[in-house]
Each structure stands twice: as structure tokens, then as C-alpha cells.
Structure 1
Amino acid sequence: MPASAEAAGEPALHLAGVACTFISKDAPGQRYTAVQEVDLRVGAGEFVSVVGPTGCGKSTLLNVAAGLLAPSLGRVAVFGEPLVGLNRRAGYMFQAESLMPWRTALANVAAGLEFRGMPARQAQALAQEWLGRVGLAGFGNRYPHQMSGGMRKRASLAQVLVLDPDIILMDEPFSALDIQTRQLMENEVLQLWQAKRKAVLFITHDLDEAIAMSDRVVVMSAGPASHPMGEFVIDIERPRDVAEIKMTPRFRELHAGIWDVMRAEVLKGYQQQLQKTA
């Protein structure tokens, strides 16, 4: 982090007055505003989750944070500096499979380092180290089709973290996993985050997951023109086990409070989806 940004206490990521408007797919020639008046901050070392109804623009915000999408209005700053083009200080873990099928797990994890110019032997040694950290020490020679869904997610996580980004962007990375594997992955992410304390912006539709993992949870309204309508500090002690804390009174209290804000918006989003498919 630049010394000036650190001294000023600048957030790792700041979306200020962001709006994203697109040409509507359903009605050519008409415009559709996905998100509007979004002000979102993620502090250095902070874990922030964004939740909301289906279609509320959560992934749009993540693409803006990654520099993959320029906002129609507003600005994005990374450690106090305006974001122009791709966010080089961020690593992005997608919801969809990101591993190259023709590369082994080791080669997939090493790829980003090699693309940055690191010598192959050094990149592979670092990739092997990270495979070990995510529980895949003995599986570096496996191709994606030879790995389970959980193993592929571990490899994808190593693929992002090996680059040592200052900001980690995660788009519902565990949604396709069974509940047991999902909880294991959530705990692994928390352990790795606890060690490195990177800024994390985490997109999820699962309120339990958001509360269990985060320092703050931001609730988005139903679209169109979705915007933040609630922000909750998760004051549960760390380190956490995502299964165990769900049984605590404070977790249930937080869940009830956030769901009280979300409920009406989720119903709105559900009705909108029904209308689209009718």
C-alpha cells in the first residue's frame, strides 16, 4: 500500500456514487439500470459480504471493483487512487470454473505467476506451496476432470492467492458445492484470510454464509436500480467455525435482524423473476 494512502486511512476499495446502466436485452433500445447510488467501502484487512435478491446487481458491483466494467456514473478508488482499467491489486475468484482443462492443478496455479514473468521453476515451487496450503499437496499432477468439485475450488482458490493480491473479490465461489464441502471451504478461506488479512469483497446469496464469514454485511435492494439499503456489523469473535457459530444466540440475533431488512426485497426479486419467465 502506498505510504500516503496508508497514512490517510484510505479504504482498500471504495465505490462512490456508482451506477451501471445497460441496453435492455428484453426491450432493445431501452435502457436498464442495474445498480444506482452505490457507496461501498472495504477497508484494508476487512471482510465484507454483499447479499440481496437474485438479479440485484451483486456481480455487477464485483465486476466494477475488478475493473472489468466501467460504471456509468460514479467512481472507483483503490487505496485512494482512481481505478483506471483492470484492478491490478485485486484477485478474482469466479463462480464458474476458472481452471484451464488442459493444465494440471500445479500448472493452473503457476500460470498467473508465469504470465507475470516469474521463471517457471520458481512459479511451480510457489504453486506447490499454495497447493499444500489449500490441502492439495499430493494432487498437483491431476487435471481438473480428475478432481472433485471441492478440489477444483481449492485449486481455484490457490490460483488467486498465489498472486498475493491486496484485494480478493469472490463471486459466490462455493454455491455449487454440497453443504459439507462448502463448510470446509468456508473455514479454509477464513483461516487463510486470518493469516494474511487481505481486503475481501464477497458476493453471496446465502445469508448464513455472509454472517459466518464477514466483518460487515451489506444488503442490496431488489432491482432495477438496486442500491444498498442496510449495513450490519458482525460482532462475533474470531477465529470462527462456520458451523459452530450458527448455533450461537448472537448469530441468530444478527440473522433475524438482517433477514427482517431482506425479506421484502427477496419477495420483490422473486416476483420479478416469475414475471420474466411467464
Structure 2
Amino acid sequence: MQNVNRTAPAIEFRNVACRFETPTGFYTATAHTSFCVADGEFVSVVGPTGCGKSTILNMAAGLLAPAEGEVRIFGTPLKGLNRRAGYMFQAESLMPWATALENVAIGLRYRGVAKDEANERAMAWLARVGLEKFPDRYPHELSGGMRKRVAMAQTLVTDPDIILMDESFSALDVQTRELMEDELLAIWQASKKAVLFITHDLDEAVSMSDRVVVMSAGPASRPIGDFGIDLPRPRNVAEIRMDQSFLERRAAIWSVLREEVLKSYREHRTELAAS
């Protein structure tokens, strides 16, 4: 990896706006968006459906360029793809024709790592996520939870300075989801990378994060709350959710988020009625 300016935020959004062209004009997804993710910090973004959470993540990845403002990565304006970040998508991103080992190793191979070394490092990561017995399995031969473990190993094997996650566990059943959340926290606790985590699940955000940023309803969504989560670490997500301190922090965030969710719901109902 490149040398990193550890005194600067890992990710900094400076008065960012993002717009998309539509048949009837331009739609402003986000506006006046400013917040940071410090090096080693775990930050979640929550908000109503359609509030631009994934748009923010894609700007941090360099997949979208802001119409206004600036995204900085460790103090440097982001131009093009963010090569210091690993991105774990919500949708399936594994190559169906490749084995688990090949899927994990592919990022290293693209970076010019020799095949033997790439496979060795990929095997080490499969072991870290509990899949060392399944390197030759294809995605269709793995359960949903196992595929997510492969995707996590695929994201982290290149040792990115920043981890971007877009509702990565939302499709899993509750039990598997909690296991994956604990798995991610254990890996993060050991490496302390910067994490920007997008989720629609407030319980997930509070139980995992150092901070939770709340976005307003769209269009022109913006941050309207930034809550520190000072619950003790290491955390077990199932256990921490029964703690009184967790319930108090969740209630404080929900008091801000609830009205935005209702606004979004009313807006969508109006749009449906008009169509």
C-alpha cells in the first residue's frame, strides 16, 4: 500500500453534492454533506430509503464524482478510483466460474502478485473467515453466509487502508448475520482500518460502530445527526443489544431518524398515488 498520512482523516466529505440526470431534469441525491471518518474509526451511515447512503459510499470509492464539494482520502483530493479502499458490495460479487480460493486471490493477481504467493495469502484469509476446508468450492456450492465470508476475504486480502461496505449482510438470516457482524468486528479490532459502513438497520449500526451518521430524507439528503457510540469493546453484537446503554443510544438516534423515515414514506406514497 501507499504511504498514508495518519494525521488526516481517512475519508473526508467537504460540502459534497451529487446529482443525476433524469428525463425531466437533474435529481440531487445529496447536498451540503460534510463529515469525516478517522483512521481506524468504524462509522455507520443510516437514513431512510433513497436518502443517498450508497451514493456517499460510491463517492468515497471514486465510482461517482461529486457535482460540488470535494472528497479527500488521507488529506489528498480523490481523483478517479480510490485505490486505498476495499469495497464489499450488497449484491453477490463473486465470479461464479471461479473457486473460493480463486475469488479471494483475484485482487492480488490483478496487482501483479505471483500466483503462488497470491494463493498462499488467499488461503490464509479463507482460514481467518473459517473456510480453509472449502478452497475448491464454487459459489453455487456454498451457503449464503459462506459466500459472504468469501466476499469479505476477497475485500480484505489486499490489506486496504479503508473498508467500504454497502449493506453487506442485509440478505442474510438473523443468526448468520450476527455471526458475520462479530466476524467483521474481530477482524477490524485486530487491524483497526477505517470503515465506512452503510446500513438500513439501526441496531446493526449502533452495535458495531464508533459513530453513527444520520441522513435526512431525500432529495438533497444531508447529515442531520452525528452520534458517538462509546460502548465498550470488544463487542458481541447479540449481547450488546441487551445492554441498557445500547438501548439509550439507539433511542436517541431513532428520535432523529424516525421523522425522516416518515417523511420518506409519505413522499413515496404521494409519488405512487400520482403515478
2:134 aligns with 139
1:128 aligns with 123
Q: Structure 2 matches for 1:1-278, cutoff 5 A?
A: 2=3, 5-6=5-6, 9-24=7-22, 28-278=23-273
Can you give the 5+ residue segments of structure 2 that lack an aligned partner in the other structure? none
Give the TM-score of the pair, scaled to structure 1.
0.96
Report how far residue 95 of structure 1 moved. Answer: 0.3
Report how far residue 22 of structure 1 moved. Answer: 1.1
Can you give the 5+ residue segments of structure 1 that lack an aligned partner in the other structure? none
Give the TM-score of the pair, scaled to structure 2.
0.97
Q: Report Cα offsets for 1:136-193 as digits up to 9, x if no partner.
A: 1101111000000000000000000001000000000000000000000000000000
Q: Which amino acid aligns with 1:142?
A: R
> Residue 144 and residue 276 in structure 1: after superposition, are their counterparts in 2 closer, same or farther (change >3 A)?
farther
In the aligned structure 2, how far is the partner of 1:178 from the partner of 1:151?
A: 12
Q: Report % sequence identity.
A: 63
In the aligned structure 2, how far is the partner of 1:106 from the partner of 1:2?
A: 29
In the aligned structure 2, how far is the partner of 1:217 from the partner of 1:29?
A: 34
Q: Report Cα offsets for 1:189-239 as digits up to 9, x if no partner.
A: 000000000000000000000000000000000000000000100010000
In the aligned structure 2, how far is the partner of 1:276 from the partner of 1:163?
A: 44
Secondary structure of the equivalent of 1:244?
helix
Q: Report Cα offsets for 1:13-43 as digits up to 9, x if no partner.
A: 101010001113xxx1311100000002000
Report how far residue 70 of structure 1 moved. Answer: 0.2
Q: Which amino acid aligns with 2:8?
A: E
Q: Which amino acid aligns with 1:161?
A: L
In the aligned structure 2, how far is the partner of 1:264 from the partner of 1:239?
A: 32
In the aligned structure 2, how far is the partner of 1:29 from the partner of 1:219?
A: 29
Secondary structure of the equivalent of 1:118?
coil
Secondary structure of the equivalent of 1:113?
helix
Secondary structure of the equivalent of 1:39?
strand
Secondary structure of the equivalent of 2:29?
strand
Secondary structure of the equivalent of 1:247?
coil
> Residue 128 and residue 2 in structure 1: after superposition, are their counterparts in 2 closer, same or farther (change >3 A)?
closer
In the aligned structure 1, how far is the partner of 2:253 from the partner of 2:13?
A: 22
In the aligned structure 2, how far is the partner of 1:162 from the partner of 1:270?
A: 40
In the aligned structure 2, how far is the partner of 1:189 from the partner of 1:274?
A: 37
Report how far residue 276 of structure 1 moved. Answer: 3.4
Q: Which amino acid aligns with 1:106?
A: L
Secondary structure of the equivalent of 1:22?
strand
Report how far residue 270 of structure 1 moved. Answer: 1.4
Aligned length: 272
Report how far residue 273 of structure 1 moved. Answer: 2.4
Q: Which amino acid aligns with 2:232?
A: E
Report how far residue 274 of structure 1 moved. Answer: 2.4
Secondary structure of the equivalent of 1:117?
coil
Report how far residue 272 of structure 1 moved. Answer: 2.2
Report how far residue 2 of structure 1 moved. Answer: 4.0
Report how far residue 269 of structure 1 moved. Answer: 1.1
Q: Which amino acid aligns with 2:19?
A: T
In the aligned structure 2, how far is the partner of 1:122 from the partner of 1:93?
A: 23
In the aligned structure 2, how far is the partner of 1:272 from the partner of 1:94?
A: 27
